Amino acid sequence: MASRTPNTVSIAGVDPSGGAGVLADVKAMSALGAYACGVICALTAQNTQGVTGIHPVPVEFVRQQIDTLFADVKIDAAKIGMLGTAAVTKAVAEAMQKWSPPQLVLDPVMVAKSGDELLTKDAVASLREALLPLATIITPNLPEAGVLLGHRGPETLKEMARAAEKLRRLMSDAGNRWVLLKGGHLPASDAIDLLHDGDKMIELPAKRIDTKNTHGTGCTLSSAIAALLPQYADVPEAVRRAKLYLTEAIRYSGALDVGKGHGPVHHFHGLWGKASPDRER
């Protein structure tokens, strides 16, 4: 493990309810021992039930936020989430090339849990062409994988493996580049994710937890990975620990009472005491 507290940054949108986006990322990173910074790429009017509005941050101000932060703070890992537009996506990609953080986690956020679109269609090509090649690890779910590959999302574990291989080929040819393809959309009692580096295909199963509190799970997992990558040299180990953290955050989500829709996970389940995970909301 790293001896110094790592500095991490979430480059994403803001969810005012705190269940997803930069606020959720900062919680997860902090809970896992990293110092968390944030760059805001989009503002949303959002709660646990849906998104009612999106307001992009001006491109030049996104660029200024990144340049100002990286000029002063040694960033060990960056997590990229909701970018919103093609112009912002391109600006973030250029900034990542300029500053080259040691670890870059890309969560290709396209659709909210409520079904609301969070990434414009013209931004998908920019994300695929400009950001994927820079990432240490990408963390798409099955629908996002389908969009990135230009066809329907995988519907079986075998199709997931083929999709993971295709996604890995979109990334840099350099070593230590990984795809974490999340299998939560498959209809099975176990949610199996696949972790692939172009050679190894590692299955990462997890028991499903019966709860509606799944708002921001993708944001939380990717930011947990960003927090742990500087602390563990082995990528699979960092991902396994991040998945365990998310599983427990989901398990203890019932200890919170936030909103009437898909509630958030409990980012601080390990720090606030072990309240009952089964409390009725």
Least Cα distance to 118 among 80, 61, 163 occurs for 80
Tell me how far apart the alpha carbons of residues 73 and 37 are, in angstroms, rounded to a whole number.
9
pLDDT of residue 121: 75
Kind and range of the H or E run holding 146: helix 142-149
Could you give the residue numbers annotated as active site? Answer: 182, 214, 216-219
Mean pLDDT of 11-31: 97
When the pLDDT of each residue in the chain is averaged and rounded to a whole number, the result is 91
**Cα(125)–Cα(226) distance, integer angstroms:** 24
Q: CB–CB of 2/31 below 8 Å?
A: no
Residue 100 has pLDDT above 50, yes or no: yes
**What pLDDT was estimated at residue 116?**
57
Q: What percent of the chain has pLDDT above 70?
A: 91
* 201-207/190-196 β-pairing: antiparallel
Do 141 and 191 form a contact (C-beta atoms < 8 A)?
no
CB atoms within 10 A of CB 279: 12
Topology of 7-134+212-255 in CATH? UDP-N-acetylmuramoyl-L-alanine:D-glutamate ligase (3.40.1190)
Do the beta carbons of residue 93 and residue 67 sit within 8 Å? no
| Contact of 175 with 193, CB cutoff 8 Å | no
Write down the pLDDT at residue 281.
40
pLDDT score, position 207 = 83
Question: Which residues are CB-contacts of 134 (< 8 A; sequence separation ≥ 6)?
Answer: 93, 96, 97, 104, 106, 172
Degrees to nearest 5, angle at CA 97 with 94 and 98: 85
Task: Tally the residues of the chain.
Answer: 281
pLDDT at 280: 43
Report the share of the chain in percent with pLDDT over 90: 74
Of residues 63 and 150, the one with the higher pLDDT is 63
Q: How many CB atoms lie within 10 A of CB 232?
A: 16
Let me know: does 195 contact 180? Beta carbons within 8 Å. Answer: yes
Predicted confidence (pLDDT) per residue in 208-258, tens digit: 888 999 999 999 999 999 999 999 989 999 999 999 999 999 999 999 999
* pTM of the full structure: 0.93
Burial of 264 (0-12, 13-18, 19+ CB in 10 A): buried
Residue with the larger pLDDT of the pair 153 and 248 = 248
- Positive or negative, the Cα torsion across 27, 20, 66, 99? positive
Q: For residue 248, which of 281, 229, 272 has the smallest C-alpha distance? A: 272
Residue 169 has pLDDT above 50, yes or no: yes
Q: Where are the domains of the chain?
A: 7-134+212-255
Collect all residues with Cβ–Cβ distance below 8 Å to 275 and sequence separation of at least 6.
252, 255
Task: Categorize the per-residue pLDDT at 277 as very low, low, confident or very high, splitting at 50, 70 and 90.
Answer: low
Cα 244 to its chain centre, rounded Å, is: 15
